[in-house]
Chains A and B, each alone.
Chain A
Amino acid sequence: MIKNKDTGENDDTNLSLGANAAGVNMRSAPSLSKQKQTRMHSTYTDKPSIDEWSPLLKIIARDRDRKAFARLFDHFAPKIKSYGMMLKSQHTSAQMAEELVQDVMIKVWLKAHCFDSEKASAGTWIFTIARNCRTDFIRKANRINTSLTADDLWPMAEEEEPFTSLHQRRIEKNIHSAVAQLPAEQADVLKRIYIEGKSHSEVSAATGLPLGTVKSRVRLAVSKLRTLL
């Protein structure tokens, strides 16, 4: 059975959930402490100005640098695991989530040379890989009978016209500070949607907020971002 996101169908195993966006573990400590010099406040209000992951990903592509990969892994793996915790099957969701982490991170390693920082940040690039992998993962785990794959549904933006690419670069540059200016409650809803991979109804179920409130927070956040980008 494919999971029905629309009905907000509860999953007894992991609706306890969710949350945590990043599960920082000890291995992330070095990079975090470095960031802390410039990030004194909570993540919602601080102002991360530089995308530190894109240069790292370029190094991985160019030098096949395992240490750089390990750093990338330590930051992104717990977040991808969080995103994968919504997967369902006869396995425990934690196991599936770790399989997803492995799928995604191997793709990151193998496809690093395809990463183009002119078009997207490393975070966006990895996010789209994680999203597509998760969709294919669900399809395979549920033995869904279709020739469609995630790459059909979310075509890579590679063929976009130059204007779009320019526009995209501006967005990527500004979105960090834009997100930092969002009210915490809106950022929290976005985190649940993007990092925990929950539909609006699932966010509503997990937080106890009415669906209308979840929707209005998304709407407010996105229109605020629009004015800031």
Chain B
Amino acid sequence: MSHFHPDIHWLTEYAAGNLSMSQALCISVHLSFCPKCRKEVEQLNSLGGMMLSRPQAMNDATEQPQSELEISDSLRSHMLDLISNETLPNVPAELAVETSANDEPSNTAVELPDCLDKLIPNGTEKLDWKNLGSAVSVARLAAGDTEREVALHKIKAGGRVSNHDHKGREVTVVLTGSFSDQEGQYLPGDFLIKEPGQAHRPIASEDAECICLSVLDAPVKFTGPIARLINPFLRIRTAAS
């Protein structure tokens, strides 16, 4: 059971489809651990359905000319033609494949949330891990975000990450194991955000390695005296452990 949840704004943006895919991925991972937030999102989905269902109020605030939202006659008749077309399959092949594609059990040692299956098809062990010192390694994920760095971070059992700050906001979701910093201890499913200026010093628990999904708006900067960037994308350097 998670103790650190995305706030209502994150959940609303998620339900409304207004997050980038990588941010939505973080929420989705959290939801796979958190029935409470799942329920919340269901309500927020229903709210979207309600907003979509209700008739337009004539007194709605409108900055956009009505005409721009009108559906062209050609689109309408095109749609009605399309659905009359006998050759239109009842279930498009693409949809049928999508549902069966996920049934393949992945051979991960660690059970990962389903939403990570495509990015990590062969388990976390097979990812291209790069050491960032003796205690931490990183594996970047192709989540298709051109403005954010999406990666798994792995901290060895008992490993310490050097004190670091971020130039951009960093969202982290714990996948396995646990780590702590001055704010608390984070367990699988926990969702935390570090804003620029919030330096922290994560330490993995002694009993198990900790793997987290992280999405970073811009490269991390280090605050410690020995801190240096190994390269712009390898952001974390461990203290001697």
Contacts and interface: CB of A to CB of B under 8 A. Distances in A.
A1 to B, nearest CB: 6
Interface residues of A, number: 105
B9 A215 contact: yes
B53 A43 contact: no
A194 B47 contact: yes
Interface in A92-134: 94, 98, 101-102, 105-106, 109-111, 113, 120-128, 130-132, 134
A135 B71 contact: no
A21 interface: yes
Chain A binding surface, main DSSP class = helix
B172 interface: no
A193 B55 contact: no
A106 B13 contact: no
| B51, B64, B84, B90: residue with the most chain A Cβ atoms closer than 10 Å | B51
Contacts of A160: 38
Nearest to A98: B75
A1 B13 contact: no
Interface string A4-19: 1110000000001111
Contacts of A43: 54-57, 60
A24 B56 CA distance: 7
Contacts, number: 283
Given A144-B144, A147-B142, A101 B50 contact: no
Given A19-B61, A51-B53, A82 B69 contact: yes
B119 A148 contact: yes
Contacts of B61: 19, 188
B52 A79 contact: yes
Contacts of A147: 118-119, 142
A53 B18 CA distance: 25
A113 B89 CA distance: 13
A15 B38 CA distance: 32
A37 interface: no
A23 B75 contact: no
Contacts of B187: none
A105 B79 contact: yes
B28 A66 contact: no
A134 to B, nearest CB: 6
Interface string B48-81: 1111111111111111101011111001101110
Contacts of B70: 23, 25, 78
Given A70-B80, A147-B142, A179-B50, A153 B56 contact: no
Contact of B71 (A81, A85, A188): A81
A120 B49 contact: yes
B147 interface: yes
Contacts of B60: 19-22, 43, 188, 191
B49 to A, nearest CB: 3
Contacts of B51: 21, 127, 179, 190-191, 194-195
Nearest to B143: A146
B90 to A, nearest CB: 7
Nearest to B141: A146
Given A4-B20, A80-B52, A152-B118, 9 more contacts: A17-B63, A43-B55, A43-B60, A66-B84, A106-B79, A110-B92, A155-B115, A164-B39, A167-B42
25 contacts: A2-B20, A2-B21, A18-B62, A18-B63, A19-B62, A20-B62, A22-B55, A48-B54, A73-B71, A77-B79, A101-B75, A124-B46, A132-B17, A144-B145, A146-B143, A148-B25, A148-B115, A148-B144, A152-B114, A152-B117, A153-B28, A171-B46, A197-B16, A199-B18, A222-B44
Interface of A: 1-2, 4-6, 16-25, 27, 31-32, 35, 39, 42-44, 48, 51, 53, 66, 69-70, 73-82, 85, 94, 98, 101-102, 105-106, 109-111, 113, 120-128, 130-132, 134-135, 139, 144-149, 151-155, 157, 160, 164, 167-168, 171-172, 175-176, 179, 188, 190-191, 193-195, 197-200, 202, 206, 215, 218-219, 222, 225-226, 229
